[in-house]
Amino acid sequence: MKIIAATAAAFIAIVIIGNATSVFAAEPVAVSAAPALTVRFTGIETPTGAVMLSLFASEAAFDAGGKPVASLMAPVNGDSAQAVFPGLAPGRYAVKAFHDIDSDGNMGTTPFGMPTEPFAFSNDAIGDGGPARWAAASFDLAAADTVHSIKIR
């Protein structure tokens, strides 16, 4: 038993020592990071407040008001705003956003539920009597960083 243990220890030592130069002398290996999605908003007419946006990764969540993958606040800077979602898995996504002009954290609406603050959807999608649907607003995020521009209406 002692011979087997000693042989195994010697073998492991040879493997480690034999590979030491290749392990320690190797060039640094770049670690691939998950892509980031930068969302840029244009067409902002009132230079106050922030754009509140939510990112969705499924048709069910987007169309039925489900839980977003992430939500961010992008401060308005003149006539534009920008937000970055880091470390996303490649796939299909869609964005819902509104310009919170009065900075109250809520989308202003009329008593009938019609928006009183500007809003937008990815792909500049427009709804038909309501919010845009996943089919019109969704886009592919590849394995590289992506910039997606949206016009606030």
Computed over every residue of the chain, the mean pLDDT equals 83
Instruction: Return the pLDDT at 9.
Output: 34
- Name the band, by pLDDT with cuts 50, 70 and 90, for residue 66: very high
DSSP notation for the chain: -HHHHHHHHHHHHHHHHHTHHHHHSSPPPPPPPPP-EEEEEE---S-SSEEEEEEE-SHHHHHHT---SEEEEEE-BTTBEEEEE-SPPSEEEEEEEEEETT-SSS--B-TTS-B-S-EEEGGG---SSSSPPHHHH-EEE-SS-EEEEEE--
Confidence of residue 23 (pLDDT cuts 50, 70, 90): very low
